[in-house]
Amino acid sequence: MATVTERTPFRQAIAGHSVMELAREFGTPSYVYDASVIRQRIADLRRFDVIRYAQKACSNLAILDLVRREGVLVDAVSAGEVQRAIRAGYSPAGEPAPIVYTADIFDRESLQLVQELGLHVNVGSPDMITQLAEVAPGSHITIRVNPGFGHGHSQKTNTGGEQSKHGIWHEQVEDCLIRAERAGIMVSGVHMHIGSGTDFEHLSQVCAAMERIVLQVGRSVTTISAGGGLPIPYRNSESYIDIDKYFELWDASRNRLAESLGHAITLEIEPGRYLTAESGYLISEIRAIKQTGKNLYYLVDAGFNNLARPILYGAYHPMSIASAQPAGERLQDVVVGGPLCESGDIFTQEDGGVVCSRPLPVAQVGDYLVIECAGSYGFVMSSNYNSKPMAAEVLIDGEQRHLIRKRQTFEDIIHGEMIP
């Protein structure tokens, strides 16, 4: 099992590459990913039959290519994510399905792609069954079931229970089976994902709910998916969940089901955060330091347009300083903010927008501030708010470092706009 390494707020290098050199070469703000961390996290989960990467966490083509080479399959939640997977070398069909389309609706574009490519669908709403039958009769599907409970690191990432729009409500499974049978659709898989960034206790409650639903669906089921949701330790006080114990719970459920149904059951897991969060660093430059009343602010050139998790969820990310000057050891309480013209553009905030300070090394303008554990739901949630370009992305693989996305230019930002 992975162990937590105590993080410190002093950092001169990422995976052996100097932060200063990375900043000089690629500019700031830039996302930097360490390939070895992603490979390690994949290795942690090898006991599951299928690891399916929830690419919504970090969908750069180079990251998808990396996980594909490790034998990891992929989940796509939109036509765009399906196309990304294909560009990264996944084939649309195969057994087990290399790409699964998981959603609660088909927009017109995704339904057309599903039809053209013959993609496997993980259905989150009863209407999707009928819509799929019209374009792809005879398909096999997975049903994503909302077991009636859920949990996440924030209410916004809880995907179970009746406050969640996700999945087929557990009491409607029977109706869906009838609907599927009438439409000539075969339910070959059951999937549950109760939330993102939850804990062991909640995750393990899913096994019993899964067993109940699979027995209700019956012998057509050949695959079960535990969904994603594995947490990672953002704070030094947090730890990893026990992956082996988690696997053993699921393995036992799978074995009981195989026994009851009389055939083998494939066990999938579908993590996003767990595979990429810790690999990613957002490097920013401190551009101003100012005292405002009792608060000392470090203002950096990355904002919530680059990393939205703090303003959206009050999410905590570790931070460190790479100093251009000989680094002192002294810490001081600071508030870290970005460049955007909005008071909420603060990286040190708690849920509800409460501005907090935290101890960080004494720094000067021109030093670099690194926001850590930013590889999942970091770049992918960025925007062009305030007409700021999206950051560059860089992949470190051992000695090598590769630019895997250019920083946007002003022309990229206004691309497609027209003055009539």
Taking CB under 6 A as the criterion, the residue among 64, 230, 371, 390 binding ligand LLP is 230
Angular region, 95: left φ>0, alpha ψ -120 to 50, beta rest: beta
Cross-strand pairs, 100 = 75, 120
Q: Which of residues 341-400 bind ligand LLP (CB under 6 A)?
A: 376-377
Task: Output the CA angle 94-258-240, nearest 5 degrees.
Answer: 80
Contact region with ligand LLP (CB under 6 A), list: 175-183, 221-229, 233-241, 355-363: 221-229
Catalytic residues: 341
**Does residue 305 touch ligand LLP according to CB under 6 A?**
no
User: Is the CB of 11 or the CB of 193 nearer to ligand LLP?
Assistant: 193
Residue with tokens 């994902």: 193
User: Rounded to the nearest whole angstrom, what is the least distance from the CB of residue 82 to ligand LLP in the complex?
Assistant: 15
User: Rounded to the nearest whole angstrom, what is the least distance from the CB of residue 206 to ligand LLP in the complex?
Assistant: 12
Taking CB under 6 A as the criterion, the residue among 31, 33, 274, 281 binding ligand LLP is 274
Give the Cα separation of 108 and 215 in Å (integer). Answer: 33
Give the Cα separation of 292 and 308 in Å (integer). Answer: 24
Taking CB under 6 A as the criterion, the residue among 98, 150, 160, 272 binding ligand LLP is 272
Give the Cα separation of 144 and 129 in Å (integer). Answer: 12
- Strands 168-169 vs 368-371: parallel, antiparallel or unpaired: unpaired
Taking CB under 6 A as the criterion, the residue among 29, 98, 150, 229 binding ligand LLP is 229
User: Rounded to the nearest whole angstrom, what is the least distance from the CB of residue 380 to ligand LLP in the complex?
Assistant: 8
**Does residue 158 touch ligand LLP according to CB under 6 A?**
no
**Does residue 317 touch ligand LLP according to CB under 6 A?**
no
User: Is the CB of 231 or the CB of 337 nearer to ligand LLP?
Assistant: 231
Taking CB under 6 A as the criterion, the residue among 227, 303, 339, 375 binding ligand LLP is 227
> Is the bond into 389 cis (omega within 30 degrees of 0)?
no
User: Is the CB of 280 or the CB of 389 nearer to ligand LLP?
Assistant: 280
Transcribe 140-161 into DSSP letters: EEEEEEE-S----SSGGGB--S
How many C-beta atoms surround the C-beta of residue 129 within 10 A?
24
> What is the sign, positive or negative, of the torsion defined by CA atoms of 23, 26, 29, 33?
negative
Rounded to the nearest 10 degrees, what angle do helices 173-183 and 200-217 cross at? 50
User: Is the CB of 19 or the CB of 123 nearer to ligand LLP?
Assistant: 123
**Does residue 270 touch ligand LLP according to CB under 6 A?**
yes
Give the Cα separation of 22 and 327 in Å (integer). Answer: 18
- Rounded to 5 degrees, what are φ and ψ at 319? -135, 155
Kindly give, in sequence order, each residue whose CB lies less than 8 Å from that of residue 79, ignoring residues fewer than 6 positions away. Answer: 107, 109, 110, 112, 113
State which residue has the least CB distance to ligand LLP.
228
> What is the sign, positive or negative, of the torsion defined by CA atoms of 167, 172, 178, 182?
negative
Q: Which of residues 16-55 bind ligand LLP (CB under 6 A)?
A: 54
Angular region, 11: left φ>0, alpha ψ -120 to 50, beta rest: beta
Answer yes or no: are the C-beta atoms of 14 and 34 closer than 8 Å: yes
User: Is the CB of 84 or the CB of 273 nearer to ligand LLP?
Assistant: 273
Structure tokens given for 135: 């374009």
User: Is the CB of 348 or the CB of 376 nearer to ligand LLP?
Assistant: 376
User: Is the CB of 34 or the CB of 270 nearer to ligand LLP?
Assistant: 270
**Does residue 147 touch ligand LLP according to CB under 6 A?**
no
Q: Which of residues 101-120 bind ligand LLP (CB under 6 A)?
A: 102
Q: Which of residues 241-260 bind ligand LLP (CB under 6 A)?
A: none
Contact region with ligand LLP (CB under 6 A), list: 11-19, 213-221, 223-231, 348-356: 223-231
Answer yes or no: are the C-beta atoms of 228 and 202 closer than 8 Å: no
**Does residue 271 touch ligand LLP according to CB under 6 A?**
yes
User: Count of residues binding ligand LLP (CB under 6 A)?
Assistant: 20
User: Rounded to the nearest whole angstrom, what is the least distance from the CB of residue 256 to ligand LLP in the complex?
Assistant: 24
Taking CB under 6 A as the criterion, the residue among 23, 35, 57, 300 binding ligand LLP is 57
Taking CB under 6 A as the criterion, the residue among 196, 205, 266, 306 binding ligand LLP is 196
CB burial string 196-206: b at 16+ within 10 A, e below: bbbbbebbebb
Give the Cα separation of 230 and 197 in Å (integer). Answer: 6
Contact region with ligand LLP (CB under 6 A), list: 191-199, 284-292, 350-358, 406-414: 191-199
**Does residue 310 touch ligand LLP according to CB under 6 A?**
no
**Does residue 63 touch ligand LLP according to CB under 6 A?**
no
Binding site for ligand LLP (CB under 6 A): 54, 57, 102, 157, 159, 193, 196-197, 227-230, 270-274, 309, 376-377
